[in-house]
Amino acid sequence: DINSYKERLNLNINEKRSMVEKAIKFTHDNDTYFFDVSTSVQLLARYLNKQVTIFTHSLDNFNILSEKDNVSVNLIAGEFNKKNRFFYGSDYEKCFEGLEFDSAFLGAGAIRSDGIYYEDEEDAFIKREVIKRSKKVILLAEHQKYKKTAQYKGLELEQINIIIVDPISVSLFE
C-alpha cells in the first residue's frame, strides 16, 4: 500500500515544501537532531542551513547533509533496506546509548487513531529508540498518510509534541 521511497520522493512536493517551511523554524544553531528516513525530512535536510549536529539512519539524508559545511552528520549504519533506503541493525539500544536529541524530526508511513505506523519493523523499532532520547518529537506528514496502512506501530500520538501536516484540511480518522 506504501510506495517505495524513490516513488514517494516527488509526490506531494508542494505540500512537503509547505511543511518544511514550518519545520525549519524548530531548528536552532548548536542543537542536535535526529532526521528520520522520510521524503519530507529529506526535503528539510536540503533546506537546512544552520550549525547543527544530525544523526540519521537515512542514506539520502546522510548524502545531502554531508555536503553542508556547517552540519556535523552521523550515520547510524547497519544492514541496508534498499526499498525504503535506511540502515538498520539489532543493536540500536547500544547505538543510541548516551545520545540525547534536542528534537527528532520523524515521518510517518500511516497515521491512525492509535498511533503512527511504518512499513518495516526495524524502522518502527528505531523510532521507538529515538523518541526515548528526544526532548521534542516533531512529525512531518502529508494528509494522505491518514488513508494509508502500515503494519508496525512506531509511536503513540501522545509521544508527539508537534505535528506538521500540509495545509489541506482533512477529517482525521474518517
Separation in Å, CA 83 to CA 6, 7, 35, 58, 87: 8, 10, 18, 12, 11
Q: What are phi and psi of 131, to 5 degrees?
A: -70, -25
- In this structure, of 15-24, 40-49, 66-75, 100-109, the range with the lowest mean pLDDT score is 15-24
**pLDDT surpassing 60 at residue 109:** yes
Mean pLDDT of 47-76: 96
Angle between helices 59-66 and 39-47 (to 10 degrees): 0
Average pLDDT over the chain, rounded to whole?
Answer: 87
* pLDDT band at residue 29 using 50, 70 and 90 as cut-offs: very high
**pLDDT surpassing 60 at residue 14:** yes
The answer to whether 41 touches 58, Cβ cutoff 8 Å, is yes
Strands 79-81 and 86-88: antiparallel
Tally of CB atoms within 10 A around 94: 9
**pLDDT surpassing 60 at residue 142:** yes
Q: pLDDT digit string (tens) for 92-106?
A: 778 889 999 999 999
**pLDDT surpassing 60 at residue 8:** no
Q: How far apart are CA 145 and CA 156, in angstroms?
A: 15
Mean pLDDT of 59-65: 96
**pLDDT surpassing 60 at residue 161:** yes
**So what's the pLDDT on residue 102?**
98
Mean pLDDT of 49-75: 96
**So what's the pLDDT on residue 101?**
98
Q: How far apart are CA 174 and CA 169, in angstroms?
A: 13
Tally of CB atoms within 10 A around 149: 11
**pLDDT surpassing 90 at residue 78:** no
**Looking up cell 526495524, which residue turns up?**
122
**So what's the pLDDT on residue 148?**
81
